[in-house]
């Protein structure tokens, strides 16, 4: 047994390998969690809705009463867009050749 080795101690390479494996596992878990779908609320405000469907807030405001815009709900004075309604509206906008 080498002079500076103690009984029951592990070589430094095993400790480094264990730390590398732990770091790799943690990185894989963090990557997996970041890719999971986050729970959505049932409604969005006009800024979130505009971003969601790819238009400007001003387009939503100007066309709110038009049949070309997605349906909305009023909660008190606030305008909200149901996610299900936005998804349905987007599906209706598809052009099939």
The whole-model pTM stands at: 0.57
Output the CA angle 27-33-38, nearest 5 degrees. 155
Task: Provide the pLDDT for residue 19.
Answer: 73
> CA-based Rg of the chain, rounded to a whole angstrom?
27
pLDDT band at 72 (very low <50, low <70, confident <90, very high): very high
Q: Per-residue pLDDT tens for 1-47?
A: 555 555 556 666 656 676 777 888 888 888 887 776 665 678 999 99
Task: Provide the pLDDT for residue 2.
Answer: 55
DSSP-derived letter for residue 95 is: -
């Amino acid at each position: 047994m080498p002079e500076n080795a103690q009984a029951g101690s592990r070589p430094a390479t095993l400790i480094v390998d264990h730390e590398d494996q732990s770091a790799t596992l943690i990185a894989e878990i963090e990557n997996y969690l970041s890719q999971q779908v986050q729970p959505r609320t049932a409604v969005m405000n006009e800024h979130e809705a505009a971003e969601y469907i790819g238009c400007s807030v001003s387009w939503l405001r100007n066309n709110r009463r038009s049949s070309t815009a997605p349906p909305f709900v009023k909660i008190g004075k606030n305008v909200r867009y149901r996610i299900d309604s936005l998804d349905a509206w987007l599906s209706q906008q598809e052009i099939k050749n």
